[in-house]
Structure formats: structure tokens, C-alpha cells
Amino acid sequence: MSDAQDHPQIYLISPSEFDLSTFPAQLAACLDSTEVACVRLALGSTDEGRIAKAADALREVTHERDVALVIDSHIQLVERLGLDGVHLNDGARSVRQVRKDLGDDAIVGCYCTNSRHDGMTAAELGADYVSFGPVGDTPLGDGRKAELELFEWWSMMIEVPVVAEGALNADLIRALSPHTDFFGIGDEIWTAENPAGQLGELRRAMLG
């Protein structure tokens, strides 16, 4: 495609830890106030019971509003928990097998840091989207960043949708909006006093 669509869509990412007694309501408020294309359950926990309870709670919120819910990394839990797909964090390495395991209807996306090669390979192997990041400055990770140039190139050369995520702010969103299909937004809003209000602010930046 020659460029991303007119306005990017929001791909909401859950906190790595949250309170099941309050977070579903926060998520619902965000989905009710701002259009969201997809939600990613990105718990840091490896407790299967904890993940299952969280997935059940979020699925009730998202599916009631016809919003897709994918899970971070846990491929084997997708069908068991009635989720729409999986977000992979190993570049393109497991895309082919996961696509085979989950079938054509499941959402299979992958995070490729800032690697054009991994992104292109993932796209060729059947990923529904490729995510690059972090876009902004962060002390986390290994110091690599996904620069504006990467998204400019992708939007001109590759048809598979691209997600920009990681340490976003309004200025970065305005700069990237012409060149990305989705913004992966998570901690940018969950650390705010009013997450739904903060999401609305970032959405306005996407609209110019």
C-alpha cells in the first residue's frame, strides 16, 4: 500500500499486572469512550489460573462490544479461553507453526522490535500484523528503537498492517499517524488518573 489508512486505529494493551476487581471497569470505560480495534491481554504472570480468570473477565468486556481480544505469547490458551488470537514476541520464528496450529481465522501478530527482516519474514509467513517498537525513549529493553523511517518504509512497501508501540506520546503519535495502521497503547494510559480521558487525548493526536 502507498500509505497507511486515513487514521490509525487503537490497539489497547493491558497492564502487566492489574486488579480484577477494578480493571475490567476501566477497560470498559475506555472502549465505551473511544473506538478500539483490538485488546491484548499482556499479563506478566505465569500462573495459568490467574491468566484464565483475567481472560474471562476481559473477554466479557471486549466481546460484548465486538472488540477482538488476543493474548500475549500463550498460544495454547487461545482456543481454551475462547480468545481471538495471539501476539508473539519472538519475531518471525514461530509464525508459520502458530498459523498452522490456530488456523486461518485466528489473529496472529508478532513483535519484531525494529527488524525489517523479521517483519518482512513474519508478513510472508502469514502474520496478520507486525508490531515495531519501542518508538519512544525508555530505559527498558536493549536500547533498540523503531524509528520513523521504518514506518515510512513499511507503509510504502508492505501491505500487512503495522503497529507502532512502546513509550508513545502525543508528538510521536502525530508524527507516525500517516505511516502506521495501529498504535499499541498501554502504560501510556493505565498510569494516568483517568485512563479513558488519556486515551481520548492520544486519539485526538492521531486525528491531527
Classify residue 140 by its DSSP letter.
Answer: S
Task: Kindly report the CATH number assigned to the domain that includes residue 71.
Answer: 3.20.20.70
Query: pLDDT averaged over the chain?
Result: 96
Residue 2 resides in a domain: no
Look at residue 120 and tell me whether its pLDDT is greater than 70: yes
Residue 169 resides in a domain: yes
The Cα–Cα gap between 26 and 103 comes to 32
23, 45, 53, 54, 58 from 19: Cα distances, Å: 6, 13, 11, 9, 12
pTM score, two decimals? 0.96
Q: Strand 38-41 relative to strand 68-72: parallel, antiparallel, unpaired?
A: parallel
CB 129 within 8 A of CB 147: no
Q: Residue 131: give the domain boundaries.
A: 9-206
pLDDT band, very low/low/confident/very high, at 151 (cuts 50, 70, 90):
very high
Q: For residue range 41-60, what is the model confidence (pLDDT) as tens digits?
A: 999 999 999 999 999 999 99
For residue 156, the model assigns a pLDDT of 97
Look at residue 180 and tell me whether its pLDDT is greater than 90: yes
For residue 11, the model assigns a pLDDT of 98
pLDDT band, very low/low/confident/very high, at 117 (cuts 50, 70, 90):
very high
The Cα–Cα gap between 52 and 81 comes to 7
Residue 84 resides in a domain: yes
Domain count, the chain: 1
Residue 171 resides in a domain: yes
Place of cell 507516525: 176
Residue 49 resides in a domain: yes
The Cα–Cα gap between 75 and 112 comes to 17
Q: For residue range 73-91, what is the model confidence (pLDDT) as tens digits?
A: 999 999 999 999 999 999 9
Residue 19 resides in a domain: yes
